[in-house]
Amino acid sequence: MTAEFAVQGLGIRALAEEYGTPLFLYDGAALRRRASDLRELLHPRLEVFFSLKANPNISICALLHSQGARAEVSSMTELRTAVRAGVEPRDIVFLGPGKSRAEITACLELGIYAIICESFGELELIDEVAARLGVTAPVALRVNPAFAVKGSGLTMGGKPRQFGIDEAQLMEHAPLAGRHRHLRLMGVQVYLGTRILSEETVVRNTERILELAPRVAGHHGFELEMVDIGGGLGVAYFDGERDLDLALLAKGLNPLLDAFGERHPGTRLVMELGRYLVAESGTYVVRVRYAKTSLGENFAVTDGGTNHHMAAVGIGSFVKRNYPIRLLSRTGAPADETWNVTGPLCTPNDTLCKRAALPALREGDLLGVERSGAYGPSASPVLFLGHGHPAEVLVDEGRAHLIREPDTADDLMRKQRLHRPSGSVTG
């Protein structure tokens, strides 16, 4: 087995035999490396919070936490996952535009660091829940800033959005501090977009957020205990994209954080990262079931697709572009053919990659869709056609660990209730 087709010396073919396919395979060394690069290069005052949305597996969260990452969560399940993974409540923030009373209650009972509030109406609800529990709720304001910054894959600010409170509304509003007896306003959060691949964009965003946050706190009369500068750092998936240069980013970012830190020595500085922490570590491993041709094109029909990896399929994107994919089961074969790699679903959209350069494929081959550790099964329609969630395996310190059992048909049928109609015509 060459190193090319192994994770930390464990052959991918053997792992696929043992755990079955389709399979999400994570390299713990890659996760550790990402976390340590961030720690070593970015300003020591900047705390990295892992956005569980990108990969909600509890073992991934625990590994990142062991490397210093805190947690940013947006649902009851993510909150419980972070706590069970060992993240201290003082290192958890909860955000999301539609928080329920139950979620707010859980946050306050656990005593998490901050609830990031996204509307005036939510302030009232948090105050009411806190009053009932007899506690003071720590609340950061999510601001939809008046500026939009180009260079992000998906813009989240500077436009009409359901997220946060518009900067103008906030600055026109009478001071909020003291208006709610059970709230302690303590921070400001801004998140401008995802898949940012320009260092300069991140630096410019941060500069403006660090200017905005004290202005908001000053206007509303609260002490700035935390500024959450969002994040949205991207990774390169497609031809023509390049990865962020973390050293270059640090060169632009660190002086800003340093200057801010001097002016605000008691303020925690937070960055939320999902994709950037986990994407590179994951490979989606599928097996070719059938190799066929149609009207002159090659098709490899595999055992996984849209149902586990909607992002790679490109659903929701304007144009279908191919994630990096390669043959994992044989070495040395030249990539001198053109293949469509499709999944098992009964829809023509179920295409993992379109006209990709690959070696001649045959039944039983293993293919790996790389950089697949973020927004995989949890962001895909895993119930479509009833295949369910795939297995997830983490290789850490040279050993493989099953960190998510695959769903079985029994699992998926368990919650259905059979109503047997009377008067069946089939007797």
Ligand X SMILES: *Cc1c(COP(=O)(O)O)cnc(C)c1O
Task: Kindly tell me which residue out of 24, 50, 113, 191 binds ligand X, with binding defined by CB under 6 A.
Answer: 191
Q: For residue 286, which phi and psi values (nearest 5 degrees)?
A: -125, 160
Q: Which is nearer to ligand X, 310 or 374 (CB)?
A: 374
CB 297 within 8 A of CB 340: yes
How many CB atoms neighbour CB 178 within 10 A?
11
Task: Kindly tell me which residue out of 12, 31, 54, 395 binds ligand X, with binding defined by CB under 6 A.
Answer: 54
Task: Report the candidate in 61, 136, 48 with the shortest Cα–Cα distance to residue 378.
Answer: 61
**Using rule CB under 6 A, residue 55 touches ligand X:** no
Residues near ligand X (CB under 6 A), total: 15
**Using rule CB under 6 A, residue 301 touches ligand X:** no
Q: How near is the Cβ of 216 to ligand X at its closest, in Å?
A: 17
**Using rule CB under 6 A, residue 164 touches ligand X:** no
**Using rule CB under 6 A, residue 376 touches ligand X:** no
Question: Number of helices and strands (H, E) in the chain?
Answer: 12, 22
Task: Report the candidate in 143, 256, 223, 232 with the shortest Cα–Cα distance to residue 190.
Answer: 143
CA distance 240 to 203: 22
- 338's tokens: 């053109």
CA distance 269 to 271: 7
248: Cα separation from own chain's centroid: 23
Scanning the structure block, which residue is given the tokens 């490109």? 314
- Scanning 4-12, 229-237, 260-268, 383-391 for contacts with ligand X by CB under 6 A, the matching segment is 229-237
Q: Which is nearer to ligand X, 54 or 249 (CB)?
A: 54
How many CB atoms neighbour CB 345 within 10 A?
18
**Using rule CB under 6 A, residue 194 touches ligand X:** yes
Q: Which is nearer to ligand X, 284 or 339 (CB)?
A: 284
**Using rule CB under 6 A, residue 70 touches ligand X:** no
**Using rule CB under 6 A, residue 95 touches ligand X:** yes
246 to 275, contacts with ligand X by CB under 6 A?
Answer: 272-275
Q: How near is the Cβ of 233 to ligand X at its closest, in Å?
A: 6
Q: Which residue is nearest to ligand X (CB)?
A: 274
Task: Kindly tell me which residue out of 232, 314, 373, 377 binds ligand X, with binding defined by CB under 6 A.
Answer: 232
CA distance 120 to 104: 15
The footprint of ligand X (CB under 6 A) covers 51, 53-54, 95, 191, 194, 230-232, 272-276, 374
